Structure 1
Amino acid sequence: MIKLQKMTLGLLFLALGTFSCKQEETPLVPQATLEEEQQKLIPSNEIDQLILQSLRETGDFLWMGQSDQVIWSALMQSDSVLTIGYSPANLETPNARIGIESVQDPVWQASAQKILGMITETVERSGGSQLRLGNELAEIHADLPYLEVKVNSLEVLQNLRSMPEVRYFEPLSYEFDYSLLNQGQNARYFSDSGCSNDPEANLSTNDYSVISPNAKASWNYAQMGISQAWSQSTGDNITVGLIDTGVSPNQQLLGSGFQSGESTSRSISKFGTYQTGYWWWKKYDGPNDQCGHGTAMAGVIASPRNSVGNTVGVAYNADLISVRGTSDVIVNSGNEKDGVAEALVLLGKRSDVKIISMSIGDVFSNSKVADAVRYAYNRGKLIFAAAGTSTSFTNWYGVIFPATMAETVAVTGVKEGNGYQRCNTCHSGGKVDFTVIMERGGTETKPLSLAFSGNNPSTVGGSSVATATASGIAALLWSKNPNWNREQILDRLKTTSDLYPSRNSEYGWGNLDAGAALGIY
């Protein structure tokens, strides 16, 4: 980020207590009392109910659709950091220009400075004291068109609302109570494996086939045309970017064994954009998986065709870039939103990355992350995102963010067998583009992947594994057709899917078929 070290940005500091006002017989209420009444906090439980109601009625929640008082209350009950999206005033289709037009352009920078100038003027006029964001007064992102300041003045929000340079403003770190989604129970809003990824103790020989040199191919590969597609492509010379919880340093096949068996002349790179700590002190937490989810997704995409008896990935000769952008699969904290946004910029800038796989998300939109998705998309990346996974208590909810975005390809999981039945914990809905078979009809067994360590496979379920599988299939297709662009790849995947030319209201174009996409049959 660009840090503005010399800016005089005073931010009004207000007490967070509640105020009581006793009416006197005078007909006029003092202005100060009106301001105090206006700025009473809306309790977090009431804000959460607004969010829940919006999710049930519309499938999303947008901060900009709420009153300034709701946003101010959310700020006051988090860390007071406000994310403000900007663009030149009255610019047509600004979202389509993110990642193409530089925010270092003087016209864009002037818009950011105008917003900061307004905040300064508002605070100074109110006689407020100065607050800092870390060691600085404000931060303007170097690549994405947003800035962040600490704000606890309702008047600032009101003024932002009227500025044509402002695209949105949102509290960075307010966290919704996810137990409300699950009727007061612990909300397991993530992949079946969650943040554990142990070897499968009861793996049946019916759930895999052994292929040379001694790798295990998951039971669903033949049903998805993946095993057949390997005669034409194994993903070589294609780089897939994975944004997740990182990869385990204890899984050799994602380390020194990444080039082993029949997987050679390729590479794995590991980055960490997730930070721990608070706004006054943060540090990067490294690329290593501390959850297990990212290791499993990396295994599905690109585990080597190994000789040690472990699982093989869909695109076992593809290059892989793992970015630890989040600590778990719910992108709900301010640090996770920062980490995922930074990961998307990192991968968006890399010319070698063709595909980005995101088996992570949140129940409602975040504009900072959305800007980062558009940044990568506008640079030609094909972005697959999980439609959502949760317990049966929350299956009423549809597709999650960022799979809801037009710039992403939403994927969910279905059971094997005739007809379409989503997996026990998978979300579906009108935003779904493709499905992947990833749950056995009788045993409910999930596909194989890499465990956190060792040579015995784990299993992983939900829309997470469906998304990673779809990313691997796209890598097979792009490897065979290296001169195609994103639109050609996506069109081929669509026209060879099971339900095409019809589109189902819950399952999109239906099951992907790698063999058909590559012209095997």
Structure 2
Amino acid sequence: MRTRTPLPLFLLFGTALLSCQREPALAPGSDGQGPVLMEKAALTDVPEGEPLSQEQLDRAVIDVLEARNDFRWEWMDIRTLWSATLYNDHSVAIGYQPANAGTIDDGIHKIDVRSEAFKAVHDALIERILLTLNEGNRNPVSLRDILVEDDPVLPILTLRITDKRVITMLHNLRNVRYVEPLDYWPAIASDDRSTSGCSPSTYALNASDYTTISPNAKLPWNFNNHSIPAAWSSSQGGGVTVGVIDGGISASQPLLGSDFNNGDSNVGRTVATSATLGTSAYTTCSHGNSMSGLAIGARNNTGASTGVAYKSNLKFIRACEDVILDKSSEKTAVKNALIAMGNDPAVRVISMSIGSPFSSSVLTDGVNYAYGLGKMIMAAAGTSFSWTSWWGVIYPAALTKCVAVTGVKENGSKCGSCHDGSQVDLTICMERTSNSSRNSLSLSPSGNSPSYIGGSSAATATAAGIAALVWSAKPSATRAQVLTCLTSTAQFANAPSGSKGYGNINAAAAVNCALAL
């Protein structure tokens, strides 16, 4: 975890004094020449009456999803926004900026939150929030009582707030880029909050779903559909680090640990693991294990499956409990993982086979930060559970700065649990037409027998591995050039599909495109 900027003493211990002072209309600027906090021209009133019940809140959210096939908190009224803070852990994310800064999305990686302009807004917001909370309060609260995270890199404050006056005040400020409930999740989906996507497949391995290649590795059947073996004649991913953000890897799989340089992958590769959620990358959730194995698994001599970019390095960060980003802690941790990946110059491709149907500005800030530092971000378009089958592309894949990937069957139709839609950029064939249980293959949590792994998760990790092959073929290529090579040589290069983008990737053609640059 990153070290947080120490909090000013007056913010931690001066609350009692602040609660006795008259609340200023607006905080003065640090130069004394104008206000730091500035209100919008059109102000919203504090909501009256009772908040929405959980059922009413969920209905309001689902109605928007059904009408727009998308959901953003900025579309909701203040009553709904306030109501959402009352459930689960009450975390509220506050994105801030100087009032006249304009849109900072494209330059967020250049911001210094310790600069005078941003620090003035940061401090004024905290003061204003505490003053509002403590007005008429006999037991005043301090910042320590409500602080979840004070981001030392991005202009984000995360606090536990349920006071409708504070939510409305923040909503009315031009300095506030967003104010969003960070832990909202509909009650109907509560069963999906624990271990979604974590359990390995128990389907028996079919001998026709792999071939054995030197030095004794199993080649997944679908790699041939994307000309991956042909691409290996020119590139195996050497010199490129692939970053994987997921739910954890297995300590019992040596091919992602002590035996990372096994077989034809014995080229001095490196593997680095860390966690922004919890204290270790090693968990019982096998999803990240499968994704890492698909993207960069060793071309081994043990009989296990090989990955795509088998000479690439791995940087793995555990940032979630499972594939669904439904908790405030997960969204914050994924954002922090994106910051860490962005700050690592060795990482070129980031693979995220995780997501949420609900837009999150915290996740968006993390994506914008890593993208601004030159990373290619591959994200899963979505894998369905009982209540999500009708949705289109999920977040963060729906963001324009992500490359959205989904999975298809051999016949070209989307896989049984995959999402597609207009935001999809590329596809990977990863499911047999005749049997939805026979997917691509990857490393098991332990042992050498491969496990089936499917969904847009598997498609995304495979695409990330191919991107590493392309970049390795031409290390001087820009991200835009690598993406152009992937799309211009893909299945629907001349006429992109409205639901599957440029279609299936041709790894060999994309590598040759890069070599010709």
- After TM superposition, the score normalised by the length of structure 2 is 0.88
Mapped pair 1:516 → 2:509: yes
Q: State whether residues 188 and 390 of structure 1, in contact with CA within 8 Å, keep that contact through their aligned partners in structure 2.
A: no
Residue 392 of structure 2: aligned partner: 398
Kindly report which structure 2 residues correspond to 1:29-428, keeping only aligned pairs within 5 A, or say none.
Answer: 38-127=48-137, 129-132=139-142, 139-179=149-189, 194-197=197-200, 202-264=204-266, 265-274=268-277, 284-391=278-385, 394-417=388-411, 420-428=412-420
List per-residue Cα deviations over 1:394-430 (Å, max 9, x = no partner).
321100000010110000000113xx31001100000
Where in structure 1 are there 5+ consecutive unaligned residues? Answer: 13-34, 181-185, 275-283
Task: Give the whole-Å Cα distance in 2 for the aligned partners of 1:237 and 1:314.
Answer: 14
More off after superposition, 73-82 vs 487-496: 73-82
Decide which of 490, 496, 501 is 1:503's aligned counterpart.
496
Query: Which residue type is aligned with residue 453 of structure 1?
Result: S
Letter in 2 for 1:217: L
State the Cα distance separating 1:72 from its structure 2 match: 2.0
Deviation at 1:175, TM superposition (A): 2.2
1: CA distance, partners of 2:393 / 2:195:
13
1:212 partner letter? S
Q: CA deviation at 1:152?
A: 2.7
C-alpha distance in structure 2 between counterparts of 1:336 and 1:464, whole Å? 17
Query: What is the total number of aligned residue pairs between the two structures?
Result: 480
CA contact (8 A) 1:9 1:116 kept: no
Once residues 82 and 499 of structure 1 are traced to their aligned partners in structure 2, the CA distance between those partners, rounded to angstroms, is 42
Q: How many percent identity over aligned positions?
A: 39
How far apart in 2 are the matches of 1:468 and 1:480? 19
Q: Determine helix, strand or coil for the equivalent of 1:321.
A: strand
TM-superposed deviation, 1:502: 1.3
In 1, distance between residues paired with 2:450 and 2:132?
Answer: 59
After superposition, the CA RMSD in angstroms is 2.3
SS state of the match for residue 235, structure 2? coil
Hey, what's the Cα distance between the residues in 2 that align with 1:75 and 1:128?
Answer: 23
Deviation at 1:252, TM superposition (A): 1.1
Contact 2:147 2:158 in 1 (8 A): no
Cα deviation, residue 174, structure 1: 2.4
How many Å separate the matches in 1 of 2:167 and 2:77?
Answer: 10
Taking the aligned partners of 1:381 and 1:309, their CA distance within structure 2 comes to 33
Q: TM-score, normalised by structure 1?
A: 0.87
> Counterpart amino acid of 1:316?
Y
| AA of the residue aligned to 1:130 | P
Residue 503 of structure 1: how far off its partner (Å): 1.4
Distance change in 2, residues 1:341/1:39 (3 Å): farther
Q: Assess if the C-alpha contact under 8 Å between 1:190 and 1:388 holds in 2.
A: no
Q: Following TM superposition, by how much is the alpha carbon of 1:377 offset from its aligned partner in structure 2, in angstroms?
A: 0.6
Distance across 2 between alignment mates of 1:479 and 1:361? 28
Contact 2:47 2:79 in 1 (8 A): no
Secondary structure of the corresponding residue to residue 294 of structure 2: helix
2:455 corresponds in structure 1 to 462
Q: 1:41 to 1:211 in 2, by over 3 A?
A: same
